[in-house]
Amino acid sequence: MRQGRTAVDDARENGDVSARFLASVGEELGKSLDYATTLLSVAHLAVPFLADICVVELVADAGRLKPVAVAHSDAAQEGWLRELAVVATTDVLELMTRLVDKSLVVANVDQVDGRSRYRLLEPIRQYARQRLVGSGELETVRARHGTFFLAFAEALERDASVGGARRQSAADCARG
């Protein structure tokens, strides 16, 4: 609460902001009968008000979710967010099976836990590395990859309910 203001003043101001937001959403809902256009407009309205990102999904065939609108506080980031939303709503096993069928990925069964592990074929991995080197992005991608997996391993380490006995070894591996 700012100095000289009461909780009632703050509540009234927040209520005014909420009312303006809801009025804007109501206006957008009345502009078009095309649901994709309308939902995209509402997602863009929601981003500065509710969060940094907004993904609107609708139930599609077989009960799967389908992303229909994506908004990010940085418009330049919407492309990757849109791709991520599509991947996140796609059956991962189906994707991996298609990659194995196309001989881009090899599936191995872990002898300890019986789970499938996937790896790129060496020529594919080398080609991808060459493309990264050629683009000048290799070090940036390495740093992002390391940062992501270190944070992931540290999160596993903090949460005793995730990872079980493998939790500590994951954090140790990520630290190098």
Q: What is the pLDDT of residues 6-38, one digit of tens each?
A: 554 554 566 677 777 788 888 888 888 888 888
pTM of the model: 0.43
- C-alpha angle 13/17/18, rounded to 5°? 115
Distances in whole angstroms, Cα of residue 117 to Cα of each of 133, 156, 168: 26, 19, 20
Q: Are 156 and 170 in contact (CB under 8 A)?
A: yes
Q: What is the mean pLDDT of residues 37-47?
A: 88
73-131 pLDDT, tens per residue? 888 878 878 887 777 766 777 778 888 888 888 888 888 877 778 888 888 889 888 98
pLDDT for residue 85: 78
**Residue recorded with tokens 């509710």:** 50
> Can you give the residue ranges of every domain in the chain?
1-90
